[in-house]
Amino acid sequence: MNGEAAFRRYADFDAILNSIYCAIFIVHTDGRAVYRNGAADELKAELGVTEDELIGALEAQIDVVHGQGRFAVAVEGGMIICHLLPWTQAGQRQGSIIVAHISGKERCSAQELDNVIDVLEEIDAILEVVADGIVVADKNGVIIRVNKALETTFGIKRRDVLGRSMEILDREHSVCGELVRKMNEDPKRIVVSGTYKQKELLCTGAPIFDRQHRLKTIVISIQDMSALNTLRKKLEEQRLYTKSYMREISLFNGSGGPIVAHSPAMKKILHLVHVVADVESVVLITGESGTGKEVVVNEIYHTSRRKDKPFIKINCGAIPDTLFESELFGYESGAFTGARRQGKVGFFELANKGTLLLDEVGELSLAAQVKLLRVIQEKEVQRIGAAKPVKVDVRLIAATNKDLWSMVCQGTFRQDLYYRLNVIHIHIPPLRERREDIIPLVNYFLKYFNEKYGKEKEISPELYRFLMRQDWPGNIRELENAVETMIVLPSENKLTPSHFVGKGTGEDSGAAVKVQRLVPWKRAVEEMEKELLMQAYREYRSTRAMAKALEIDQSTVVRKMKKWGVGSHEKDKNDAI
């Protein structure tokens, strides 16, 4: 039960005690009456005695009945019949509960007395289990009850505050003080927040009124918000992380992220993508490097019926011919020298029931093409060293930036494989042929990188015009890199054409490699290798394009990147294997 509910229960009980015909006093061991109901006030008035006189007379008898039992007291105005009960909190005696009525008047029934006892015990039990600290004070601000949580959570000892004025809390715990002051000025429900011993507190004060609508009791609940606030902060952080990871994933892996498609050509492609997503036919996606082939592949996968099944991406150009069979089809244990003892599952089997992307399919050797063709025709793979083939159910998507038909004409790509792959053909035009997409893409990357780097960069109209005029030979990846650079590097928030760092601008026209001092040959070669790879990676993000720019084999690029840890922090989607 929270403090709020405890208030309501307390108010209920107060109402119950006030509706009882008998006078009820709760008297602290030090002799102070810390609670009295409405009938108690009436009793005093009827007898014409002060509270001190009455309590004094009652107290004199408490010892006589050993803290419990019935007794009668004669006071100036008449005879009072009393029933005395112990008042305990957390197992410790705090004082006495006295239920009294004037002799000769209608007596409280035994049932009524039992009910009173039950109600009081219930109040105690409830207050003790409430996790918030609870302070109950009378209208004069004298503390009449506190619960255990006040002690355990806030270190405020019961014995130090019971029977004392609320001022003690005001002095030492200014939040409560502020609350009591406000409630005395205007007795209504009030919430204040503050800190105490580095704890963030939320204090709620609620007034309880007597039958004449006079302020009778104040109940204060003190909640330690520190844990809740820490949790809330953590949750918010997690939410931001998740958001940024989702953006990251959607941008770099295309997992259902938005595809910017404003030009008629891209709109048509997007429509086609959604049509083919649900059929099982092989799709061939062509287009220059960086036009968004992989983005389209991802969209097909994520909108297809196989979206919850495996999605394996293979960069055909990165698999050496000698490893093609073992990587794609797998091998049995001990199939050949150097094979893993436990054997290996090939990519086709891994993609079973799911989707397999054959990226850079134009890079396959003729020997590999024959093996691939067989699997596509038979729909089964045979691991090296296995006695028989196994059936595989894989949806194939192939992608390339090569003109496969020209390759067929030149004899470097098998015609039969070409027809097997080219069932549904999607060609993505370069950015220079769909300029309507430039501004939406710029805005998309601007928003993405602003969020990623926590910036608030804006693009000036001149820069928009400038970007529109560029030819973007490196396509969308080049545009993306240009926007990222402009968001990260300049300190100004308003971006103009002067902030654009494109290809060929601002570069040193002198020698590409400069020797600044003598270093050992081996170290110089290693440093240069690493530097070259990093620069190529920053520029191209594709091992195939990097290989082309550096004029070395793609497999060498892959190997060296691994060796120097280039791009290891960021999974290069083009290097799917």
Given the complex with ligand ATP, which of 36 and 293 has the nearer CB atom? 293
Contact present, 355 and 308 (Cβ < 8 Å): no
Instruction: Find the binding residues for ligand ATP in span 65-124 (CB under 6 A).
Output: none
Instruction: Find the binding residues for ligand ATP in span 461-480 (CB under 6 A).
Output: 476-477, 480
Q: Least CB distance from residue 501 to ligand ATP, whole Å? A: 18
Angle between helix 226-252 and helix 438-453 axes, rounded to 10 deg: 150
Which of 39, 54, 219, 251 lies at the binding interface for ligand ATP (CB under 6 A)? 251
Which DSSP string do the residues of 18-51 spell out, in sequence order? HH-SSEEEEEETTS-EEEE-HHHHHHHHHHT--H
291 binds ligand ATP (CB under 6 A): yes
**Structure tokens belonging to residue 98:** 């006295």
Given the complex with ligand ATP, which of 99 and 576 has the nearer CB atom? 576
Q: Least CB distance from residue 520 to ligand ATP, whole Å? A: 36
Amino acid at 119: V
In 3D space, the residue among 299, 273, 260 whose CA is nearest the CA of residue 435 turns out to be 260
Given the complex with ligand ATP, which of 12 and 570 has the nearer CB atom? 570
38 binds ligand ATP (CB under 6 A): no
Q: Least CB distance from residue 423 to ligand ATP, whole Å? A: 20
Half-sphere exposure of 68 (CA within 13 A, CB side): 6
Number of residues forming the site for ligand ATP (CB under 6 A): 20
**Structure tokens belonging to residue 418:** 């070409």
| CA 208/CA 137 separation, integer angstroms | 10
Q: Least CB distance from residue 540 to ligand ATP, whole Å? A: 7
Beta-carbon neighbour count of residue 430 at 10 Å? 17
The CA R_g of the chain, rounded to the nearest whole Å, is 41
Given the complex with ligand ATP, which of 207 and 254 has the nearer CB atom? 254
Q: Pseudo-torsion of CA 51, 53, 54, 55, nearest 10°?
A: 80
Given the complex with ligand ATP, which of 40 and 421 has the nearer CB atom? 421
294 binds ligand ATP (CB under 6 A): yes
| CA 480/CA 295 separation, integer angstroms | 14
Given the complex with ligand ATP, which of 102 and 424 has the nearer CB atom? 424
Residue 577: burial class (beta carbons within 10 Å; 0-12, 13-18, 19+)? middle
Which of 27, 98, 143, 295 lies at the binding interface for ligand ATP (CB under 6 A)? 295
363 binds ligand ATP (CB under 6 A): no
Instruction: Find the binding residues for ligand ATP in span 506-545 (CB under 6 A).
Output: 542, 545
Contacts of 80 (CB under 8 A, 6+ apart): 43, 47, 57, 58, 72, 73, 74, 100, 101, 102, 103
293 binds ligand ATP (CB under 6 A): yes
Given the complex with ligand ATP, which of 3 and 290 has the nearer CB atom? 290
Stretch that binds ligand ATP, among 17-25, 76-84, 220-228, 282-290 (CB under 6 A): 282-290
575 binds ligand ATP (CB under 6 A): no
Closest residue to ligand ATP, based on beta-carbon distance: 292
In 3D space, the residue among 384, 236, 395, 382 whose CA is nearest the CA of residue 300 turns out to be 395
Half-sphere exposure of 69 (CA within 13 A, CB side): 9
44 binds ligand ATP (CB under 6 A): no
289 binds ligand ATP (CB under 6 A): yes
Contact present, 55 and 33 (Cβ < 8 Å): yes
Q: Least CB distance from residue 238 to ligand ATP, whole Å? A: 25
Per-residue binding letters, 152-191, with ligand ATP (x by CB under 6 A): ----------------------------------------
Given the complex with ligand ATP, which of 90 and 249 has the nearer CB atom? 249
Given the complex with ligand ATP, which of 128 and 248 has the nearer CB atom? 248
Which of 259, 335, 350, 390 lies at the binding interface for ligand ATP (CB under 6 A)? 259
Per-residue binding letters, 424-453, with ligand ATP (x by CB under 6 A): --------------------x---------
Q: Least CB distance from residue 270 to ligand ATP, whole Å? A: 9
| CA 557/CA 481 separation, integer angstroms | 21
Which of 133, 207, 290, 362 lies at the binding interface for ligand ATP (CB under 6 A)? 290
260 binds ligand ATP (CB under 6 A): yes
Which of 95, 141, 287, 362 lies at the binding interface for ligand ATP (CB under 6 A)? 287
Q: Least CB distance from residue 199 to ligand ATP, whole Å? A: 47
Contact present, 81 and 58 (Cβ < 8 Å): no
Q: Least CB distance from residue 402 to ligand ATP, whole Å? A: 10
Q: Least CB distance from residue 252 to ligand ATP, whole Å? A: 6
Given the complex with ligand ATP, which of 37 and 291 has the nearer CB atom? 291
Given the complex with ligand ATP, which of 193 and 406 has the nearer CB atom? 406
Beta-carbon neighbour count of residue 280 at 10 Å? 13
Residue 340: burial class (beta carbons within 10 Å; 0-12, 13-18, 19+)? exposed
| CA 545/CA 73 separation, integer angstroms | 104
Given the complex with ligand ATP, which of 147 and 542 has the nearer CB atom? 542
Contact present, 296 and 284 (Cβ < 8 Å): no
Given the complex with ligand ATP, which of 332 and 451 has the nearer CB atom? 451
Half-sphere exposure of 128 (CA within 13 A, CB side): 11
Stretch that binds ligand ATP, among 90-98, 258-266, 306-314, 348-356 (CB under 6 A): 258-266
| CA 381/CA 372 separation, integer angstroms | 10
Instruction: Give Cα 269 to chain centroid, integer Å.
Output: 35
* 3-class SS letters over 500-539: CCCCCCCCCCCCCCCCCCCCCHHHHHHHHHHHHHHHHHHH
- Residues in contact with ligand ATP by CB under 6 A are 251, 259-261, 287, 289-295, 401, 444, 476-477, 480, 542, 545, 574
